[in-house]
Amino acid sequence: MAHVRVTKRFHFEMAHSLFEYDGLCKNIHGHSYNLEITISGQPLKNPGHPKDGMILDFTDLKNIVKTNITQQFDHSLMVNSLVPEDQMELLKKTTNRLIVVDFQPTTENIVTYIAGILQQHLPERVSLYSIRLYETVTSFAEWFASDN
């Protein structure tokens, strides 16, 4: 049986700041993130079934990513949990879409975080192959299952 990979692209807007960073990114700033999710598996071989020939219906993949990633991240502010409590309280007053994570919210760490979330929500017969997260048009981080 053939093993195939398929990719779907997504987009979201999110702000972040890098705690104690030694450059401009220590300030709250936003990005127009582009996200590519590649899954792999064997296409369903079930003639007459509505999903015949698919690893996973693109609509189903879209719904998984939308529910667990883009709806959560879009127009949110992601910050490191190491931000002092007084500053965290001020941030909470400025947005109701604050995501506090236990890591520095770099593109490298965010792509790994996304992988962890998606692996919990994909059907058993589907594998997460790779993720590419563009922070800008020219800068991205990649995560590959084979490396992890």
Give tens-digit pLDDT for 79-124. 999 999 999 999 999 999 999 999 999 999 999 999 999 999 999 9
Encode pLDDT of 26-38 as tens digits.
Answer: 999 999 999 999 9
Domain positions in the chain: 4-147
Using an 8 Å Cβ cutoff, are 43 and 55 in contact? yes
Q: For position 140, what pLDDT does the model report? A: 98
Q: Which residues of 78-95 are buried (b: 16+ CB within 10 A; e: fewer)?
A: bbbeebeeeeeeeeeeee
Instruction: Tell the CATH topology of 4-147.
Output: Tetrahydropterin Synthase; Chain A (3.30.479)
Report pTM. Answer: 0.94
Mean pLDDT value of segment 13-36: 97
CA-to-CA dists, residue 81 to 10, 17, 27, 44, angstroms: 27, 11, 15, 43
Task: Tally the C-alpha atoms within 13 A of residue 29's C-alpha that lie toward its C-beta.
Answer: 11
Q: Is the pLDDT of residue 1 over 80?
A: no
- Report the catalytic residues: 25, 75, 135
Q: For position 128, what pLDDT does the model report? A: 98
* pLDDT mean across residues, the chain: 96
In the chain the beta strands, taken as DSSP E runs, fall at 4-16, 29-41, 76-80, 98-101, 127-134, 140-144
